[in-house]
Amino acid sequence: MVDVLLPYVKWFKHLILRMKWDNDVKIKHLKQPIMFISGGMDTLVPPEHMNELYNLASLSSFKDFFYVSEGSHNDTWEKAARKSGPDNYYQRIKTFISMITSMNKVNTVSIDDSENIVEIDPQTSIPSMNKNFKIE
């Protein structure tokens, strides 16, 4: 985001920012389903960045790219909520959730990095908010 809003700071951002926005590195390791919602008029996270993240998420078990042409950073959901059919915001999220939950109803077998066969537990293959946000 800093690179887009303040391109002249790009080379010095490591000196002034504590946060490392290295989504391009982290997303390559995610295996969970991911829904990317991109506003065509978003100037903070341009569609090109969202598309790049979508392409980098190669290990994701399922991914969906939802492009809302007239959406900006803060109102993409609102613009899409006014649409009807499969491009409606709520319908699209409902479809995504239905797809990933139906995928996880069946136990599947996978080979991990060490070539061992492991069974995937449908209850833990999609992380919960409690685990991610350390809520007990």
Is 73 part of any domain? yes
Residue 112 lies in a domain: no
Answer yes or no: is 89 within a domain.
yes
Dihedral pair phi/psi, residue 16, rounded to 5°: -115, -15
Cα–Cα distance list, 13 to 5, 19, 25 (Å): 12, 10, 17
In a domain, 114, yes or no: no
How confident is the model at residue 16, as a pLDDT?
72
The answer to whether 41 and 72 are in contact (CB under 8 A) is yes
pLDDT in tens, 114-134: 555 544 454 445 555 445 444
Domain assignment present for residue 45? The answer is yes
Q: Is residue 128 part of a domain?
A: no
CA-nearest of 23, 38, 95, 86 to 62 is 95
Phi, psi at 108, each rounded to 5°:
-120, 160
What is the pTM (predicted TM-score) of this model? 0.67
Q: 59, 64, 65: which is closest to 32 by C-alpha? A: 59
Name residues of the chain where pLDDT drops below 70.
Answer: 1-6, 104-136
Domain count, the chain: 1
Confirm if 72 and 43 have CB atoms less than 8 A apart.
yes
In a domain, residue 116? The reply is no
| Range(s) of the domain holding residue 17 | 2-107
Q: How high is the pLDDT of residue 105?
A: 56
Q: How are beta strands 117-119 and 109-111 bridged, if at all?
A: antiparallel
